[in-house]
Amino acid sequence: MADMSLIKQTASALVAGLNKGEITPHDLLDALEARIAEVDGKVNALPTLCFDRARAHADALLKKPLGERGRLAGMPVPIKDLSDVAGVRSTQGSLIFKDTVPDVSDVLVTHLEAEGGIVYAKSNTPEFGAGANTFNEVFGATLNPWNTSRSAAGSSGGAGVALATGMAWVAHGSDMGGSLRNPASFNSVCGMRPSPGRVATSRGGKVDGNMGQEGPMARNVEDLALLFDAMCGEEPGDPVSKPRPQKSYLDQCRSGWKPKKVAFSRDLGITPVDPEVAKIVEAAARRFEDAGVIVEEAHPDLSEAHECFQILRALSYATGMKPLLEAHRDKLKPEVIWNIEKGLALTAADIVKADHLRAAMFQRTLDFFDNYDLLLCPATIVAPYPVEQRYVAECDGHTFETYIDWLAIVYAITNICSPALSIPAGFTGEDLPVGIQIVGRPNCDGQVLAGGRMLEEILGLKGKVPIDPRG
């Protein structure tokens, strides 16, 4: 019989137990399989399971001596359904690929498996990750466990819900316009978009792109750092990938590093924010003062964020998906078609302008971090909204022009290549989660993790998950 007490333990504690031989990967897989059978029918977070493959990998791992089983030592990890796992149905949330079973795994999957990660499921995602509400024509919608009438956000929505409901201890996700940070906020877990190049991935279309990044999710910051270490590393097939840091991210997270002065912004000067969300996040940011940290209201000038991101996002869609538009237009959702066609209509002058805008914002942000150690702001501008809404069309009296405009608070950070971590900040009057975004200087991922862990301890919200889905 599965030991269901394992479900509520931390990933760090479980990996310690795996390394001592006190538990086995099979114990964890048995508990997960039972938990998924109990709750996933209520939230639809992990539509594709591969426990036979997982147990075969566990058997192979157990043949290695203790201490030689990688950083994860047999920890199960679900993979977002935008990344291929060899021998497992990998759909990208699209009818075009609904029956695809790849022979080769994405680089990030092989890296995780080399570090003792065991893949047991694919997590749900919107079609091609487009849109921050997790629904698609293959598997349907993923529901928020804090209120199953609400959105789980996206595009790593399945991963966020799996963590919040005890169907995962750690999870893989990816992020271009907040796809790790939005579902972390909506589900009261942690999600991090790393600095570009920290996590290698298989490259197609544009080999040097850095708008989209793979990254870790977990129930707390330490567990997130643990998974991040297993994801990191150079890869010949990814020309922008970086070596592992000399000091692990878990050690940096636990280092006790303390910011001297942080900046807080309700809106980064570029977007409306729901007043209740802004109030909750500001109260959380001000708690840094309890530890003697100076908190000032400030933000870098990111006024060009909308134009820059719209152009570069459209370019990435056109580069990667033009053949799909030509061959399968009838199977693509309207938002994806719009993004591809917007990219195909760009001129060289448009692209040059966007790159110049990005460079200017990047330099201003570097200058900003000469005065502040961290930048704090909302991770999302609203609390979880009704799941039947495809996206947020209005906030605080402002109507958005496109389906991605409501994501400016996160995609502005994508533009400037900064690492950004979302952790729980509190709850609304309806008991819906709100996240705070912690942003650092580019390539200072360890400081973001240490600062996040510090604030997490001050706020006292760690341990609120897993929960049973609430109708």
pLDDT higher than threshold 90 for residue 208: no
Please give the Cα distance from 82 to 286 (Å, whole number): 37
Q: What is the pLDDT of residues 144-170, one digit of tens each?
A: 999 999 999 999 999 999 999 999 999
Residue ranges making up the domain that contains 50: 4-459
- Greatest Cα-to-Cα distance within the chain, rounded to the nearest angstrom: 63
User: Which CATH number goes with the domain that contains 328?
Assistant: 3.90.1300.10
Please give, one letter per residue, the 3-state secondary structure of 182-244: HHHHHHCCEEEECCCCCECCCCCCCCCCCCCEEEEEECCHHHHHHHHHHHECCECCECCCCCC
Whether 274 maps to a domain, the answer reads: yes
pLDDT higher than threshold 80 for residue 205: no
Rounded mean pLDDT, 88-105 = 98
Whether 96 maps to a domain, the answer reads: yes
Residues in a beta bridge with 11: none
Q: Which two tokens stand for residue 243?
A: 């070596």
How many Cβ atoms from other residues are within 10 Å of residue 16's Cβ? Answer: 14
Whether 317 maps to a domain, the answer reads: yes
Whether 471 maps to a domain, the answer reads: no
Whether 114 maps to a domain, the answer reads: yes
Residue count of the chain: 471
% pLDDT > 70, the chain:
100
How many Cβ atoms from other residues are within 10 Å of residue 239's Cβ? Answer: 11
pLDDT value of residue 204: 78
Q: What is the pLDDT of residues 218-236, one digit of tens each?
A: 999 999 999 999 999 999 9
Whether 464 maps to a domain, the answer reads: no
All residues at 6 or more sequence positions from 269 whose CB lies less than 8 Å from its CB, including other chains: 299, 301, 302, 303
Q: What is the pLDDT of residues 429-460, one digit of tens each?
A: 999 999 999 999 999 999 999 999 999 999 99
pLDDT value of residue 1: 87
All residues at 6 or more sequence positions from 5 whose CB lies less than 8 Å from its CB, including other chains: none
Q: What is the pLDDT of residues 6-27, one digit of tens each?
A: 999 999 999 999 999 999 999 9
Domains in the chain: how many in total?
1
Whether 466 maps to a domain, the answer reads: no
Q: What is the pLDDT of residues 390-441, one digit of tens each?
A: 999 999 999 999 999 999 999 999 999 999 999 999 999 999 999 999 999 9
What is the pTM for the complete model shown?
0.98
Whether 468 maps to a domain, the answer reads: no
Tell which residue, 414, 470, 466, has the closest CA to residue 170.
466
